[in-house]
Amino acid sequence: MDLILNLTESIETILKNIYNSDIDKKAISIQKTRIEFEGDFTLVVFPFLKISRKSPEITANEIGNELIKVSYIENFNVIKGFLNITISHKYWIDFLYQSLQNNTFGFTDDPGEKKQVMIEFSSPNTNKPLHLGHIRNNLLGFSIAKILEANGHHVTKVNLVNDRGIHICKSMLAWKKWGKGVTPDKAAKKGDKLVGDYYVLFDKEYKKEVELLINKGISEDKAKVEVPILLEAQDMLRKWEAGDEDIVKLWKTMNNWVYEGFDVTYKNLGIDFDKIYYESETYKKGKSLVLDGLEKKILKKKDDNSVWADLTAHGYDEKILLRSDGTSVYMTQDIGTAFERYKDKKFDKHLYVVGNEQNYHFQVLKLILKKLGYDWYDKLEHVSYGMVELPGGKMKSREGTVVDADDLIDHMKTTAKEMSKELGKLDEVSENEAEVIINRIALGALKYFILKVDPNKNMLFNPDESIDFNGNTGPFIQYTYARIKSLLRKASDKNIVSSAFPKNDIKLAKKEKDLVRLIYEYPAIIKEAGTEYSPAIIANYVYEFAKLYNQFYHDYPVLKEEDQDKMIFRIRLTEMTGRIIESALELLGIGVPERM
């Protein structure tokens, strides 16, 4: 039975007995005792004053005198209106041993809680390589998926590749014009990078042509839409939609180059998907659903043949769903994709991990699906997150102010390698092992840096001050783990069997108790991270945990402790700490090194 729940019930009963009056359970607020006071948990007694009709101090003492009769409560003290409760050492020790028995401590496996969850993340365009913004998206999506699994759900990770549209035609056209048949192999370049280069080339040429037209006296607005190269790209898109063989062939070839490039990046990042949806395969479904809606008069057609959803009654604007030439827009394919996915999985929940710039889009998507009569519309949820900004502001691919995902990962690896060498950390391990460790550290630093920030908030990335390896960082936590592993290896060399229990009662030091209390919190942390869709909650928890363990490690001997019972307890505490660090980092998609 959960300790806090138990405490709450005891307090409820006590209040009833001594004051003869019921109190709302919500008024019983139990929190962690602040570090500077004696005790484990604190009850705030102010809400009870109106039934006790006594001063805060007296009320707290009266409750404390009853509470101390409960077996696992050892002591209490009162400071102003705060009743600090001390849980017995024996309770905490027993708790540690119980949690050691449980291999998935902190995870939920209640079948009643299990839901089918689909989670979409990454959602790249096929005209340019992945950048730092995608990294935040990918890491968040992947971690949230893991957290939801830890909460007992069945999770399907899906990607939506935006593989059709004018943007890919731009790359294709530029490649046709200036590529001279180059391929990723010939250029010795990742496919996504190569295609991205031609996208940039298109943009350069486009700007040049716009300027030419303006110089000829054409207005800027007009010039922008009448540029020959743009018209050519649009023509290409029409041909693609009409199924022109050559165009489709080129489209397939170039997209495949990009996918191969993406796969490398995904693999380096350590993320994967269960299923990939392609916009080119779902937009037609969206189109037909829109036409259905039109037939049922849910949607309306304007004079120019464009199709619209009128959302003004709901406080939104009108939203276009089919252009006047009958082609579909972003929203159209999202309607189709959602429909296909519901057909595939009958999900209880569908999460879209997409940046906050699309908050409006997803509100409108839900509303349109509702209007179209799909009662599962409210199973869709937008997991919105803030942008990654550079010191100069937003990243813009066209202005070259993007931080490329591959470059960043490489840079992290180089830095990790240099630092390991400098510190002489990996002199004694094989080259292969060293590389595995360095990769883990590099990615650990990057992932933790990004995931520790509350997803709601924009975050700043300064490329000049590269990501740290000291302090509140991934490597700090990984280092704590490596130390723990080293210590446990030594314990096992000494034949101190890990399943041992102390024979006699021991008294716990403050930091030992604090560590156990943090272990106790882990299940609640996983739950909270699951309901909030926030890996940051896990990240901040595991940091606090590692920090406290390092203090303990510094202050107390473990293997050199002379009291056998204390030594055994400390080894077991160390073991559990290692397990929680490993488990928590795993939820963030971060691997742990056995040594570093």
Partner RNA sequence: GGUCCAGUAGCUCAGUUGGAUAGAGCAACAGCCUUCUAAGCUGUGGGUCCCAGGUUCGAAUCCUGGCUGGAUCACCA
Contacting RNA within 347-386 (CB under 7 A):
356-361, 386
Nearer to RNA, 10 or 473 (CB): 473
Nearer to RNA, 303 or 375 (CB): 303
278 — phi, psi (to 5°)?
-115, 135
Q: Does 44 bind RNA (CB under 7 A)?
A: yes
Among 453, 542, 568, 590, binds RNA (CB under 7 A): 453
Q: First vs last Cα of the chain: how many Å apart?
A: 39
Q: Does 459 bind RNA (CB under 7 A)?
A: yes
What are the residues facing 277 on neighbouring strands? 160
112-141: contacts with RNA (CB under 7 A): 125
Q: Which stretch binds RNA (CB under 7 A): 96-104, 130-138, 345-353, 421-429?
A: 421-429
Among 89, 193, 239, 595, binds RNA (CB under 7 A): 595
What are the residues facing 83 on neighbouring strands? 43, 78
What are the residues facing 384 on neighbouring strands? 354
Helix and strand counts by DSSP (H, E) for the chain: 20, 15
Nearer to RNA, 347 or 439 (CB): 439
Q: Does 37 bind RNA (CB under 7 A)?
A: yes
158-197: contacts with RNA (CB under 7 A): 162, 165-167
Binding residues for RNA, total number by CB under 7 A:
91
CB of 155 to RNA, least distance (A): 23
Among 375, 493, 554, 562, binds RNA (CB under 7 A): 554
Nearer to RNA, 81 or 502 (CB): 81
Nearer to RNA, 98 or 492 (CB): 492
Q: Does 458 bind RNA (CB under 7 A)?
A: yes
Binding mask 136-165 for RNA (x = CB under 7 A): --------------------------x--x
- H or E stretch at 568: helix 564-587
Nearer to RNA, 347 or 415 (CB): 415
Q: Which stretch binds RNA (CB under 7 A): 128-136, 174-182, 403-411, 413-421?
A: 413-421
Question: Strands across the sheet with 459-460, in order?
Answer: 393-394, 388-390, 459-460
* Cβ within 8 Å of residue 505, ≥6 positions away: 89, 90, 93
Supply the DSSP string of 355-404, one letter for each residue. EGGGHHHHHHHHHHHHHTT-GGGGGEEEEEEPPEEETTEE--GGGT---B
Q: What are the CA-CA distances from residue 402 to residues 131, 200, 324, 468 (Å)? A: 6, 13, 35, 20
Q: Which stretch binds RNA (CB under 7 A): 89-97, 107-115, 197-205, 417-425?
A: 417-425
Among 29, 98, 492, 498, binds RNA (CB under 7 A): 29
161 neighbors 126 (Cβ within 8 angstroms): yes
CA distance 547 to 479: 11
Binding mask 479-518 for RNA (x = CB under 7 A): x--xx-xxx--x----------------------------
CB of 70 to RNA, least distance (A): 19
CA distance 124 to 130: 7
Query: Rounded to an integer, what is the distance from CA 109 to the centroid of its chain?
Result: 21
Q: Which stretch binds RNA (CB under 7 A): 186-194, 338-346, 493-501, 552-560?
A: 552-560
Q: What are the CA-CA distances from residue 118 to residues 141, 273, 275, 380 (Å)? A: 11, 11, 10, 9
Q: Does 84 bind RNA (CB under 7 A)?
A: yes
CB of 93 to RNA, least distance (A): 19
CA distance 292 to 321: 12
Nearer to RNA, 108 or 439 (CB): 439
Among 36, 110, 245, 428, binds RNA (CB under 7 A): 36
Q: Does 11 bind RNA (CB under 7 A)?
A: no
Instruction: Please compute, for residue 28, the number of CA atoms within 13 A of its CA located in the half-sphere on the CB side.
Output: 19
Q: Does 258 bind RNA (CB under 7 A)?
A: no
* Mode of pairing for the β-strands spanning 275-278 and 154-161: parallel
CA distance 33 to 41: 5
275-334: contacts with RNA (CB under 7 A): 279, 302, 304, 306, 317, 320, 323-325, 329-330
Q: Which stretch binds RNA (CB under 7 A): 128-136, 143-151, 205-213, 477-485?
A: 477-485
Binding mask 64-83 for RNA (x = CB under 7 A): ---------------xxxx-
- H or E stretch at 60: helix 56-67
Nearer to RNA, 266 or 448 (CB): 448
Nearer to RNA, 146 or 425 (CB): 425
Residue 324 in tokens: 């006047």
100 neighbors 576 (Cβ within 8 angstroms): yes
